[in-house]
Amino acid sequence: MGMSGIQGMITTLKNNKKLLSKRKKMFERDGFYQTGRYGKLEDHKKMRTFEFAQFQKDLFKKKKKETRNRRVKFLITLILTILVLWSLPYILDLIFYTEYFDMVVPGQ
């Protein structure tokens, strides 16, 4: 009863696998261009190997610096959150002075 559904699924998977081998990456296409808000962007420059290596090195440094900044910001936020939560009972005690409430509540 359910064999036609299974056969359809198998056929779809086979066809998708065939399409994957024909697919080209964005930068592998001839005449790479990208349309954007300001018009067409065309890449005419060809990098030499040492320029590409330098570009990768700079990109790695930039990514490492961004990761470090993100971690420092997270650590500072975490420390501030812990300090606020730790001092919250003391702050609430100062705001809601306990002796004042003892005087206001009658019958005790």
* Cβ count within 10 A of residue 26: 7
How far is Cα 11 from Cα 27, in angstroms, rounded to an integer?
Answer: 31
pLDDT digits (tens, 9 = 90+) for 38-88: 666 666 778 888 988 999 999 999 999 999 999 999 999 999 999 999 999
pLDDT at 69: 97
Share above pLDDT 90 across residues of the chain, in percent, rounded to a whole number: 31
**Structure-token pair, residue 55:** 């570009």
Per-domain residue ranges of the chain = 3-104
State which amino acid sits at residue 82. Answer: I
Degrees, nearest 5: CA angle 32-36-42: 30
**Structure-token pair, residue 92:** 């609430």
State which amino acid sits at residue 89. Answer: P
What's the pTM? Answer: 0.44
Return mean pLDDT, the chain.
80
